[in-house]
Amino acid sequence: MREITRVEPACPPLPRRKRVAAYARVSSGKDAMLHSLSAQVSYFSNYIQNHPGWEYAGVFVDEAITGTKEARPQFQRMLAECRAGKIDMILTKAISRFARNTITLLESVRELKSIGVDVYFEEQNIHTLSGAGELMLTVFAAFAQEESRSVSENCKWRIRHDFEKGRPTSRKVLGFSFKDGKYTPQPEEMDIVKRVFDDYLSGMGTVAISKKLQLSRNRISYLLRNEKYAGDLLLQKTYTADHISKKTRVNDDVLPMYYVRNSHIPIIDRARYDHVQAEIQRRARLPRPEYRTYAFTSMIRCGICGASYHRKMVGSSPKYRKPAWICTTFDMEGKAACASQQIPEVILEAKAAEALGIVFDEKIFRQKIKEIQVPAHNRLVFLFHDGTTETCEWQNPSRRDSWTPEMREQARQRLKERKGRL
């Protein structure tokens, strides 16, 4: 006999609230800009939390000098939250706040669109998930990029016009204050500058002076060569490559430079300054000592400060001393200057072999790999000459894990002897 069971309809699911986040960015650390950023955060926080049917998913904030995606950690964190399915919609003030580069903007928006995340640009009134959203976005983004280029070119023209007139742009220099277009010696900092010049002429090197005065070696070298301390100005030593990346380049005969003699009161008299420049040239001509190179020499770049890593023997006693690679800034100036970590050489060899898919071979390693970047603790990024990359994680094995059976037996015997003496 057939059995019929009545199936009652399930209760329809309650509509889920839309998870909404916001993104804000300012391009400068000036007080007015920071006030604008604070106002944006407050506005978006209140707007989202007071909107019926919306769930607050946070406000992501970057204070950056560029609109490139890679330079904005909070933008990257927001994208990761979207990929994890934690955000349904992003609010932002304007296209220029999201990205100034049209390509970067469209790449980000298309990725978000592919995972169902809507981006709403308030100033342009564009929803990226709407039918005409991408077309409108492309047009507005092109205008925003051109406007950014125009503003950048106007700023460059003004700065270069000032250089032609012998007027410097404001820049903090140790030993000077800058006001009304003039550098003025600062008594509380002048002694440091004079000490650097005196120590160098007494025979000390930049490394020794750096450790003595707790200044970076690069800063010591820059200070010794800086014509401002003799009362002169060399203008346009650097220039901005483009309005998108805003990267600063050294001016190697790309643009004219302007030398202004006797521009301001010097800290170092001209004879002493010239003596130091002659001493710098003399030391540069001295034969350099022979340094042994290793497989990873000049191959590892710190992702925190940008310095290279060098080889160093580490360990509390000769028995445990092993080679490791350490950031030069961290080694010379400490954790306050660069919070990187040392990497055991055996780890580097193992991870390089893993990235190459072979037993470690120095010759093949240098043929295939261009550079190793260390973006964070326990992470390595291998950059290959063909443009590909390989990221890997590593852990520092504990001393217990590194013990051989012989070492363990010796430890047991020492423990027995100590107990026997008690």
Q: What's the average model confidence in pLDDT over 11-25?
A: 82
- Residue 31: the pLDDT is 47
Report residue 370 CA to chain centroid gap: 20
Report yes or no: 273 and 229 within 8 Å, Cβ to Cβ.
Answer: yes
The closest of 46, 55, 57 to 84, measured between CA atoms, is: 57
The closest of 103, 25, 86, 116 to 78, measured between CA atoms, is: 86
Residues 6+ apart with CB under 8 A from 128: 109, 112, 113, 118, 119, 120, 134, 137
Q: What's the average model confidence in pLDDT over 257-271?
A: 90
Give the domain range for residue 136. 18-148
Q: What's the average model confidence in pLDDT over 64-71?
A: 52
What CA–CA distance (Å, rounded) separates 124 from 138? 12
Structure tokens at 292: 């042994």
The closest of 97, 115, 98, 94 to 106, measured between CA atoms, is: 98
- Residue 2: the pLDDT is 73
Structure tokens at 82: 């979207």
Q: Are residues 133 and 171 in the same domain?
A: no
Confirm whether 155 is domain-assigned.
Answer: no
Q: Are residues 273 and 314 in the same domain?
A: no
What sign for the dihedral angle of Cα 75, 81, 83, 85?
negative
Q: Are residues 133 and 175 in the same domain?
A: no
Please give the single-letter amino acid code of residue 327: C
Q: Are residues 132 and 205 in the same domain?
A: no
pLDDT per residue as tens digits for the range 100-124: 666 777 788 888 988 999 999 898 8
Confirm whether 413 is domain-assigned.
Answer: no
Q: Are residues 140 and 170 in the same domain?
A: no
Q: Are residues 141 and 234 in the same domain?
A: no
Q: Is the pLDDT of residue 45 over 80?
A: yes
Q: Are residues 103 and 70 in the same domain?
A: yes
- Residue 320: the pLDDT is 77
What CA–CA distance (Å, rounded) separates 325 from 349? 11
Q: Are residues 327 and 387 in the same domain?
A: yes
Confirm whether 204 is domain-assigned.
Answer: yes
Residue 311: CB atoms within 10 A of its CB come to 16
Q: Which residue has the tokens 């008299």?
A: 269
Q: Is the pLDDT of residue 68 over 50?
A: no
Confirm whether 9 is domain-assigned.
Answer: no
Confirm whether 338 is domain-assigned.
Answer: yes
- At residue 24, φ and ψ (nearest 5 deg) are -135, 145
pLDDT per residue as tens digits for the range 288-345: 777 788 999 999 999 989 899 999 998 877 777 899 999 988 887 788 889 999 999 9
Q: Are residues 116 and 217 in the same domain?
A: no
Confirm whether 1 is domain-assigned.
Answer: no
- Residue 123: the pLDDT is 86
Beta strand 18-26 with 118-121 is: unpaired
Report yes or no: 18 and 36 within 8 Å, Cβ to Cβ.
Answer: no
As for how many domains the chain has, the answer is: 3
Q: Is the pLDDT of residue 418 over 80?
A: no
Which pLDDT band, with edges at 50, 70 and 90, does 67 fall under?
A: very low
Confirm whether 95 is domain-assigned.
Answer: yes
CATH number for position 230: 3.90.1750.20
The closest of 226, 232, 218, 222 to 266, measured between CA atoms, is: 232
Q: What's the average model confidence in pLDDT over 398-410?
A: 63
Choice between 318 and 28, residue whose per-residue pLDDT is larger: 318
Q: Among the three residues 113, 148, 183, which one is the final residue of a domain in this structure?
A: 148
Average pLDDT of every residue of the chain: 82
Residues 6+ apart with CB under 8 A from 254: 239
Q: Are residues 309 and 256 in the same domain?
A: no
Any idea which of 31-45, 52-66, 238-252, 265-279 has the lowest mean pLDDT? 238-252
What spatial distance separates the first Cα and last Cα of the chain, rounded to whole Å?
Answer: 89
Burial of 45 (0-12, 13-18, 19+ CB in 10 A): middle
- Map residue 179 onto helix, strand or coil: strand
Q: What's the average model confidence in pLDDT over 182-191?
A: 90
What CA–CA distance (Å, rounded) separates 113 from 117? 5
Q: Among the three residues 285, 320, 348, which one is the final residue of a domain in this structure?
A: 285
Q: Is the pLDDT of residue 189 over 70?
A: yes
- Residue 69: the pLDDT is 46
Query: What pTM was estimated for this model as a whole?
Result: 0.45
Which pLDDT band, with edges at 50, 70 and 90, does 138 fall under?
A: low
Q: Among the three residues 89, 119, 148, which one is the final residue of a domain in this structure?
A: 148
Confirm whether 70 is domain-assigned.
Answer: yes
Q: Are residues 263 and 307 in the same domain?
A: no
Q: Are residues 281 and 305 in the same domain?
A: no
Choice between 14 and 386, residue whose per-residue pLDDT is larger: 386
Q: How many CA atoms lie within 13 A of 360 on its CB side?
A: 13
CATH number for position 117: 3.40.50.1390
What CA–CA distance (Å, rounded) separates 368 from 384? 6
Residue 420: CB atoms within 10 A of its CB come to 7
CA distances 174 to 99, 218, 223, 337, 387, Å, are 35, 14, 8, 18, 41
What CA–CA distance (Å, rounded) separates 171 from 175? 12
